[in-house]
Amino acid sequence: MTKAEKQKKFWEKMAERYPAPFSEESLEKTGKVISMAEQRGVRIDGAAVLDIGCGTGIYTLPLAKRAARVTGLDLSEGMLLRLEAERQQHGLENVTTVQGPWSDEAVAKHGLEKAFDIVWAAMTPAVRTVEDVARMNRCSRRWCVYSGWGELRRNPLMEAAFQAHGLNFGPPPGAKAVQAALAGMGIRVAIETVRRTWDWEGTVEEAFEHVEGFIESQSDVEPQPELIREVIARFTAEDGKVRHQTEMEMGMMVWETA
C-alpha cells in the first residue's frame, strides 16, 4: 500500500468519528475562525467559496448559511457522505462536493480556476507545499483563508506510542510552511495563533485502530501491534475505556489575491 493509499484509508476511518458541523462545540470553534477572517476583511455574505479538505463540512456548511454557494473538496468518500447527510438535514441547497485530491487535475476537470471569491483551507494536509498554495491563489478571485498546525501538538498517549516506534509526535507541517510558501511568492502574511484541545474516548480496540492509523499514515514506520497495546494498556481506565486529549496550537492567515 502506498503512502497516499494509507492516508486515504486513515481519513476514511477518521470519518466515522469526525465532529458534526452543527454540534455546539464545532460551531463555537468554527465561528471563532470565521470571525477572525471577517475581522481581516473577508466578506462571506453572498460569496462563492471553495473549502479544500472540507471533511464532514465543519466549515463548508456553516459558511453555506451565509455564502451564495460553497464547494467542498475532499479525498475521503466517507467524509463527503457525512457532509451530504448533514447538508440534507439542514436543508442547504447551495452546496456541492468534489471527491479527490487537491491537484491541478481537479482544478482543470471541475473548472475551479478563478471560480471563487474565497478559497478556504482549514487543518488539512492537502495544503502544505508551494504548489498547493499557488493553486489556492489560482482559484481565488479575492481572498484566501488558511488555518493549520502551529508549533504545538501534545497528547501523552500518542507521544508514548510514537516514541515506542522511534518517532516524534510533533505538529505536522502547517502554518509556518504555508507562510514560507507565500513569502516566496512575495506575499507577506502574519500568523495569528489559537490554542485548542480535542478529547477522544473509545474502547481498547478503537484506540488501537486509532493509534495504528496515525503511525501508519504519518510516518514510514510499520506499526508494531505489541508496542501499541502496551501503551494503550497504560491509558485504559477501570471502566475499560481509553481516553486521551490533544492540546494544539492553530495558526491562521488571510491574504488577498486581487
The mean per-residue pLDDT over the stretch 70-75 comes to 97
Which three cell numbers mark 197? Answer: 484541545
Residue 17 has pLDDT above 80, yes or no: no
Q: Please report which confidence band the pLDDT of residue 10 belongs to, taking 50, 70 and 90 as the band edges.
A: confident
174-219 pLDDT per residue, tens: 999 999 999 999 999 999 999 999 999 999 999 999 999 999 988 8
The answer to whether 132 and 243 are in contact (CB under 8 A) is no
HSE, side-chain direction, 13 A CA sphere, residue 35: 7
**Cβ burial, residue 25 (10 Å; 0-12/13-18/19+):** exposed
The answer to whether 161 and 257 are in contact (CB under 8 A) is no
Q: Please report which confidence band the pLDDT of residue 3 belongs to, taking 50, 70 and 90 as the band edges.
A: low
In the prediction, which pLDDT does 20 show?
87
Q: Please report which confidence band the pLDDT of residue 1 belongs to, taking 50, 70 and 90 as the band edges.
A: low
* Domain coordinates in residue numbering, the chain: 3-153+171-199+247-256
CATH code given to domain 3-153+171-199+247-256: 3.40.50.150
Q: What gap in Å lies between CA 103 and CA 129, rounded to an integer? A: 11
Lowest mean pLDDT among 8-17, 40-49, 111-120, 223-232: 8-17
| End-to-end C-alpha distance for the chain, whole angstroms | 42
HSE, side-chain direction, 13 A CA sphere, residue 83: 30
